Chain A
């Protein structure tokens, strides 16, 4: 057991938690304003793909990151127009965004690089820099963002309006909040943050974009958001916990065995976040209550 529970595991957990935290913080803004964000997965993929291409073409990971978050912002705008202007079903639209981002990056990289499976390899020196224990620039950024997001959400007029809009848009509107504009802003912020998480995967943790490389992380981030009851600091803890689970699945393979001498099946560790979410949602561990207006399009009276 001792050889598993080390600092190496902790750092590995931080690395795994990084993309989850970006996407989770993104989801926090959108859902607190009342817009469900099932599209986190697709938004992450847009960031991952664009960042990988831009970094490969320019040789500069910061330009790559910038391009990635810009792509996430644009895609989130498309999502916002569908959900807010057209009042489309948010879950269905979110799934469409996820589908689009499975296909579109592959279609583009197939045409441009003659390989629909992945983009070309980025040189090690062109990736986002790592510091001690392979902790990335992006990990430091996202941990710094947690208090920033907390401050914005609870201590600024914008945060107050955001939370009011998610709970009772009618009342917020009556108090002079531009509900529609605020929701656009919140969804775009969520796209930018989720895309940053995706960019970390393609130009930080690895050196290229591969098809569907997020592998469900957008949904795990969503699960973390629910576990955290839509609050930033608990979200960080939930993401770190899920990061630890992912780190464990990598580390325990072949090291720890069941008393019967068999390997511990990784599938059971993979299931933990999902099972926990169901249990929490059912109210077995305190009540997890979503913002009241979550998923309901807002239409101004008269």
Chain B
């Protein structure tokens, strides 16, 4: 594999996007160099900044890997957003039901839980829930594609809306504390919380919510690499992605691989819930994802569908998500939306250059 060629086009796309973004900044009457300087200094300037950047990158590593695994099987999973929402709700549900959650409803304590499990049972159970429920929501479009040939892109878009409406209903009607003006579930039990990294690493400041899910994300990068390139299943999955009819002729069932790829993809997207529900918010919060599922597409593309590339691309997008807040605050005219614009232009350029980088 030619490393230079792998890096060249994504880099060109990023630089081109920053040039176009700079022109837009000039047009709306601000200084692009000042804005880009802020972007970098606020995301790498101190240990605290780096911690926040990695925190923002964590869900994107999971969704980037999710989209990547599907891509490698020749499928486009636009449904990571729905998969992570459904998984997050289910994870919070287990954390409430088995975490001994007691809720204060208009001054009266109500026990909403069935049991209060110890952390060493509850945390693995919650993680498993995130993975299984995300996997199921991902498997549905996989099964529909394998059995009926219906296109996964349309079905994943539809399942995004269905999943979000479903969990929004469950939260609003069943798991919201009455009187709470915000659409969020009750809190999960303390035993379901996963540790913050600053508990082990003293150089990370206490107000940075970076948690062990980041380490899990790194582990998943390695596991996905091993799965795809070092196992028979991964080989078969990629074979279907490269040439389904040749794979079938070689004795591989494309249908089985499609379902497998979408299930793994959904499970990886579901793992976002581990960092967000168990590590950060400690409940299900409607609208908690900043379109991470969709950004996963950008992360996978920019990362050239390789786990190492996904990791680097996710950190790059983490920089944008962290930096846009500061650009918003410390420039006269630029709002947080600069991040959206840059992301969009990067995806556009990466997609356009794909044609050249394949050769």
Contacts and interface: CB of A to CB of B under 8 A. Distances in A.
Interface residues of A, number: 45
A262 B333 CA distance: 48
A265 B173 contact: yes
B337 A110 contact: yes
B148 A110 contact: no
Given A265-B173, A271-B165, A283-B150, A107 B334 contact: yes
B143 to A, nearest CB: 10
B111 interface: no
Contact of A274 (B76, B162, B172, B344): B162
Interface string A258-302: 000010010110110011011001110000001000000000000
Given A110-B337, A277-B154, A282 B347 contact: no
Contacts of B158: 223, 274-275, 277-278
Contacts of A102: 337, 340, 344
A89 B154 contact: no
Contacts of A277: 154, 158
Contacts of A100: 340-341, 344-345, 348
B155 A107 contact: no
Q: Which of A78, A97, A265 has the most CB of B within 10 A?
A: A265
A80 B340 CA distance: 21
A82 B344 contact: no
Q: Which of B155, B340, B348 has the most CB of A within 10 A?
A: B348
A103 B337 contact: yes
B344 A97 contact: yes
Contacts of A222: 154, 157
A103 B151 CA distance: 29
Interface in B267-299: 291, 294, 297-298
B352 interface: yes
B30 interface: yes
Contacts of A282: 144, 147-148, 150
Contacts of A92: 76, 297, 301, 347, 351
A89 B343 contact: no
A281 B157 contact: no
Contact of B294 (A93, A95, A97, A107): A95
The A interface, classified by DSSP as helix, strand, loop or mixed, is helix
Given A92-B76, A267-B165, A274-B162, A99 B344 contact: yes
Contacts of B165: 267-268, 270-271, 274
B149 to A, nearest CB: 8
A91 interface: yes
Interface string A94-115: 0111011011101110111000
B339 interface: yes
Q: Which of A89, A107, A281 has the most CB of B within 10 A?
A: A107
B348 A93 contact: yes
B144 A271 contact: no
Interface in B161-180: 161-162, 165-166, 168-169, 172-173
Nearest to B170: A267
Contacts of A265: 169, 172-173
Contacts of A36: 153
A110 B335 contact: yes
A87 B162 CA distance: 31
A59 B67 CA distance: 46
Nearest to A107: B337
A38 interface: yes
A49 interface: no
B11 interface: no
Contact of A95 (B144, B151, B345, B347): B347
A111 B166 contact: no
A96 B150 CA distance: 23
The B interface, classified by DSSP as helix, strand, loop or mixed, is helix
A107 B144 contact: no
A82 B355 CA distance: 11
Contacts of B172: 265, 267
A277 B341 CA distance: 31
Given A103-B344, A110-B335, A216 B155 contact: no
Nearest to B30: A111
Given A91-B76, A265-B172, A281-B144, A111 B28 contact: yes
A11 to B, nearest CB: 26
Contacts of B343: 99, 103
A86 interface: yes
Contacts of A134: none
Nearest to B173: A265
B29 interface: yes
A22 interface: no
A104 B341 contact: yes
Given A104-B337, A265-B169, A271-B162, A278 B144 contact: yes
Contact of A290 (B151, B173, B301): B151
B323 to A, nearest CB: 14
B338 interface: yes
B78 interface: yes
Q: Which of B333, B340, B344, B353 has the most CB of A within 10 A?
A: B344
Contacts of B353: 86
A100 B346 CA distance: 10
Contacts of A290: 151
Given A89-B354, A282-B144, 16 more contacts: A78-B348, A86-B352, A86-B353, A95-B294, A95-B297, A99-B340, A99-B343, A102-B340, A104-B24, A107-B340, A111-B28, A111-B29, A226-B154, A265-B172, A281-B150, A283-B148
* In the A-B complex, the 3 residue pairs with the closest CB atoms: A103-B340, A100-B344, A110-B335
19 contacts: A88-B348, A89-B351, A92-B297, A92-B347, A92-B351, A97-B344, A99-B340, A99-B343, A103-B340, A107-B28, A110-B335, A219-B157, A222-B154, A270-B165, A274-B158, A274-B165, A278-B144, A283-B148, A290-B151
